[in-house]
């Protein structure tokens, strides 16, 4: 909630406890961080308006240099303002703001520490979460799986906000830019917030497509082969406008 504030004598160490004034790392957001925060809040609000989360059930982050801006815990996105900038360093120490960062911070930091991603989107999208309870890998129902690096894996269940969940997620994300979290939701990352969000939306769409096709009595959807997916991966390398 908005009233969740760090110790006024120093910055909060989100790994546990608060540090004294002599160790304070809190500072003001720079222009690039302030602009990134605006984009982050807009993206977080879009997850709600597009039906990918309910309330504050997802979280969004973006990396600016060695600082990770992240949505705070339990604060409705429509209440976030420019004064609510929340940021940590790559070790999880709070350096911007006094609102408590999302409880899923271990997942976000794990992505930034192990990939070149600059943005992460986590949602509780309905169709994707439903699929996570049924299979260990999203069946190859559509070639856009190639845009996420290949067949989308499902990370084994672990309690939210734990290092165990972050570790399970990293294994599912190996050579991928998106995965499902069993009985939980989705995680995608990208070079920009827009890319990470688009991958989330695409993943939810593919899950909805598979559930819809699978629900027809007496019929089973045709699936793509790994060879067909590899061919799409090759074509996607030349997709879009050239710089």
One of 104, 167, 227, 233 is an active-site residue; which one?
104
Instruction: Supply the DSSP symbol for 5.
Output: B
Instruction: Supply the DSSP symbol for 28.
Output: P
Give strand ranges (E) for the chain.
59-64, 67-70, 87-89, 94-96, 119-123, 154-155, 178-181, 185-190
Q: Which two tokens stand for residue 136?
A: 């260990």
Nearest C-alpha neighbor of 205 from the set 143, 119, 118: 143
Pairing of strands 185-190, 178-181: antiparallel
Nearest C-alpha neighbor of 201 from the set 39, 59, 46: 46
C-alpha–C-alpha distance, residues 147 and 149, integer Å:
5
SS3 112: helix
Residue 8 annotated to the active site: no
Beta bridge partners of 52: none
At which residue do the structure tokens 């061919």 appear?
231
Positions marked active-site: 104
């Amino acid at each position: 909630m908005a009233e969740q504030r760090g110790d006024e004598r120093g910055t909060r160490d989100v790994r546990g406890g608060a540090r004294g004034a002599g160790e304070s790392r809190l500072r003001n957001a720079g222009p690039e961080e302030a602009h990134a925060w605006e984009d982050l809040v807009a993206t977080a609000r879009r997850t709600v308006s597009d039906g990918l989360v309910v309330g504050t059930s997802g979280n969004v982050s973006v990396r600016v240099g060695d600082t990770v801006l992240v949505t705070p815990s339990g604060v409705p996105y429509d209440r976030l303002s420019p004064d609510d900038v929340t940021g940590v360093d790559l070790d999880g120490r709070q350096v911007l703001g006094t609102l408590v960062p999302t409880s899923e911070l271990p997942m976000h930091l794990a992505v930034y520490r192990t990939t070149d991603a600059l943005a992460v989107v986590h949602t509780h999208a309905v169709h994707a979460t439903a699929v996570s309870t049924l299979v260990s890998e999203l069946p190859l129902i559509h070639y856009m799986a190639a845009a996420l690096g290949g067949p989308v894996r499902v990370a084994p269940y672990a309690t939210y906000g734990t290092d165990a969940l972050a570790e399970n997620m990293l294994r599912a994300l190996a050579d991928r830019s998106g995965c499902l979290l069993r009985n939980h939701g989705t995680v995608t990352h990208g070079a920009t917030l827009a890319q990470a969000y688009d991958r989330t939306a695409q993943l939810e769409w593919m899950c909805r497509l598979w559930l819809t096709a699978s629900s027809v009595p007496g019929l089973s959807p045709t699936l793509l082969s790994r060879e067909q997916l590899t061919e799409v991966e090759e074509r996607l390398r030349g997709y879009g406008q050239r710089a």
